[in-house]
Structure 1
Amino acid sequence: MKNLIVILICLSFFETGAKSWRLSNNPAVKAGFSTFEAAHAAAAAGDTIYVDGTGEYLSYGHAIITKKLVIIGPGYFLNENDSTQASKIYARLYSMVIESSAAGTEVYGLYFYASGTTHLTVKASNVVISRNFFFQNGYNIIYLNGNIQNVTITQNYAYQIHNNSGTASNIFVANNFIGDRIDMQNTSSGIFINNVVRYHIHTYNSVIKNNIIYGEGSSVVISESYSGNTIANNLYAGNLGSTGNSTNKANVNMSEVFVDFAGNQGYSTDGRWQLKPEGPAAGAGENGIDCGMFGGSAPYVLSGLPPVPRIYEAIVPASGSIVSGLPVIIKAKSQN
């Protein structure tokens, strides 16, 4: 009953012309497919694949996307924040490649994990990568490869973003936590706003605003020497450099910026990066908005909860009766 209700809610969210499929590698769950390859093969362009959480040491492995799909997992840090999902397990993958034939693909709520380098490689245009986790036990990287455009990377908890080949134009990177750095080719361009980044943003011909660079040291900088950038309303833990824009703030004490910068106040892994209401980042962005990943028109969403209705609590008795049936109590919320 619980599984049926989840599927019905999700089906009502998307257009009726496309099909929805359920993927689960839990043997106890009756789903359409148990492997990503099988679900991908059955889905037509424009379909949606809902990916169930996996056990701690299970994974859907390496996914290759060759057609336009919407892929939705349950999110991450599900035990750490309130009212997330009734099931607290993540949909784990080692890696994903979105081939050029899969233009328009959207990926939400997945947990990319491996003991070494994990990656999601985007080779297609008009792709959305949102509310995913790329950060544990290795260099977990979002790669932008080839001549692509109109890629949206928002509200992720990630380690690095790299444009390591080709020209990536009109790239929109906003409201992410980046635990290391962002590096782009000199032929690429985009908008980089309202991110929290540890070390640096190296890009060209781009708008770079309302970010917080929280690390310390000589490498902590938005490189004003890279040509064509508009750099404004950013906060730096280190030196400002030579940008000369008075809206940028250098040598900011990050313990005054975030509610739990040291990570010892009991906040969730992603919740600790929320701003102190009276701190130096509050209202310091362009037009008075907050800097950082929780500022702007589309703030970071705790636990990467995907933009579909979700069941966050379900009470399902083990048995019922002919008289009373099977009383099921479900609590659900919509999610923007």
Structure 2
Amino acid sequence: MATKAYVAAIFISVLITTSAFATIWIVDNNPDPSGGYTTLSAAHAIAMSGDTIYVYPSVTAYAGITVTKQLYIFGTGFDLNIYGGQATTAGSEISGTMKFDPGSGGSFLEGFGGGFTADINVGNIIVKRNDLSKVDIGGSNCQILQNEIIGTAEPGVVTMSGNLGNVIIANNKIINTSSQGTTWARWALNCEPSSIITVVNNVLRANSAQRAIEGLGATSVAQNNIIIDGITTGDGVFQYNMSHSTLPAGTGNIENMDMSIVFENPADYTTGLHLLPGSPASGTGYGGTDMGIYGGDAPYVDGGHPGIPAIFHIESEVVTTPQNGLDVLFKAKSNRE
């Protein structure tokens, strides 16, 4: 009798289109790793620009690194124990900071938990579907998409440098949970007036004495956002936004709204930000779309799983014979991009 180990439900992506010249690297720090490398640092050292790194789920977080090459780095998502539907209820978590330095332009980071920091010092970086505590943007043409960004950072959980162009911040939870008053700046989104920014379909919150959106410049746009709490300021184009308080003048803005009739639970930032049936934010955004993170062209994805095909169920016989072979049943799904 040949004993076959049960095939674990692991993070496997299938039918991925990659460059013929690119390499896929595996990072797995579990006690019985699947091969490859056990740290992001080791995989980064061997990788070439244009390569892809897949990071397996683990109960142990992976230490953040400084990225100096163009890399596509994928985890399995976060809060999978709540939302399910994937191969595992464990996520791929990062501790500390993921820093993007010169040489890393064009990199992509998606599907990680851990409440880590993204520190971007170069242009053309995409940070998507991650659980973060802070994002610092220091390059043009960056995209911050579908993330859960919750922390107490000063001067904001999302900040940026001046004189940047074409920064897109879309479909994120941007929540500063600090109860600090006005002594220190504990803002949600801290913009620079000289930068050109598109802020669309986000949900933002800061202490009522603090800024939810600060310093949006005249060449920037805020649209379809919902401000749960905090003050909104700036000279940009504010249109089709909703706030618990007042907003800068603009078309389609809805002010002084009771958030308890907007969301399922405005105090639950993990699962409560779906719009209630008949919510005043339903269909009242630009072009008749929904305001908030589940509206627009790229709705927020609960669980943060990356937009690549994946196996979500595997089962097989534990014991078989060489003559009979091994029957394996697996189910795959195409995750929404």
**Which TM-score applies when normalising by structure 1?**
0.85
* Equivalent position to 1:258, from 259, 263, 270: 263
Identify if the C-alpha distance between structure 1 residues 127 and 17 changes in structure 2 by more than 3 Å, giving closer, same or farther: same
SS at match of 2:313: strand
Aligned to 2:88: 86
| Structure-to-structure mapping, 1:162-173, within 5 angstroms | 162-163=159-160, 165-173=161-169
CA distance in 2, matches of 1:87, 1:316: 19
The residue that corresponds to 2:137 in the other structure is 144
CA shift at 1:330, angstroms?
1.5
1:158 and 2:149 equivalent?
yes
Question: Would the aligned equivalents of 2:243 and 2:254 in 1 still touch at CA under 8 Å?
Answer: yes
Matched residues in 1 for 2:91 and 2:117: separation?
A: 21
> 1:70 and 1:29 mapped to 2: Cα distance?
21
State the partner residue of 2:244: 237
CA distance in 2, matches of 1:274, 1:121: 29
Mark the CA change 1:334 to 1:96 in structure 2 (over 3 Å): closer, same or farther. same
Distance 2:123 2:316 in 1: 43
Give 1:214's aligned amino acid. I
The one-letter code of the counterpart of 2:199 is F
1:123 maps to which of 98, 121, 126: 121
Change (3 A) 1:52 1:13: same
Residue 317 of structure 1: CA displacement? 3.7
Q: Is the contact between residue 25 and residue 36 of structure 2 (CA under 8 Å) also seen in structure 1?
A: yes
User: What is the letter of the counterpart of residue 140 of structure 2?
Assistant: Q
What amino acid is aligned across from residue 125 of structure 1 in structure 2?
G
Residue 108 of structure 1 corresponds to 110
1:197 is aligned to 2:188 = no
Unaligned 5+ segments in structure 2 are: 1-5, 151-156, 177-187, 207-211
Change (3 A) 1:2 1:17: farther
Q: Does 1:209 align with 2:223?
A: yes
Deviation, 1:246, is: 4.8
The question of whether the paired residues in 2 share the 8 Å contact of 1:59 and 1:94 is answered with no
Aligned equivalents of 2:222, 2:322: Cα separation in 1: 63
Aligned match of 1:21: 25
In the TM superposition, 1:307-326 aligns within 5 A as 307-326=307-326
Letter in 1 for 2:192: Q
Determine if the alignment matches structure 1 residue 39 to structure 2 residue 43. yes
* 1: CA distance, partners of 2:9 / 2:258: 50
Deviation (angstroms), 1:249: 0.8
Q: Which ranges of 4 or more aligned residues in structure 1 deviate by more than 4 Å?
A: 1-8
- The question of 1:284 aligning with 2:284 is answered yes
Q: Secondary structure at the match of 2:54?
A: strand
- CA drift of 1:331 comes to 1.7
Cα RMSD for the two superposed structures: 2.1
Q: Percent identity?
A: 30
Q: Which residue type is aligned with residue 274 of structure 1? A: H
- The verdict on how the C-alpha distance between 1:31 and 1:232 changes in structure 2, with shifts beyond 3 A counting, is same
**Alpha-carbon separation, structure 2, partners of 1:232 and 1:250:** 12
Q: What SS does the aligned partner of 2:303 have?
A: helix
- TM-fit CA distance, 1:67: 0.5
Q: For residue 142 of structure 1, what is the amino acid of its counterpart?
A: V
User: Per the alignment, do residues 7 and 169 of structure 1 end up closer, same or farther by CA in structure 2, a change over 3 Å counting?
Assistant: same
Larger % of helix: which? 1
Distance apart, 1:254 and its partner CA: 1.0
> 1:37: how far off?
1.1
Q: Displacement, 1:328?
A: 2.0
Residue 64 of structure 2 contacts residue 98 of structure 2 at CA under 8 Å; is this kept in 1?
A: yes
* Distance in 2 between residues matched to 1:38 and 1:211, nearest whole Å: 40
Match of 1:266 in 2: none
The residue number in structure 2 matching 1:132 is 130
Deviation at 1:251, TM superposition (A): 1.3
Q: Given the superposition, is the C-alpha separation of residues 186 and 312 from structure 1 closer, same or farther in structure 2, using an over 3 Å criterion?
A: same
Shift of 1:5: 8.9
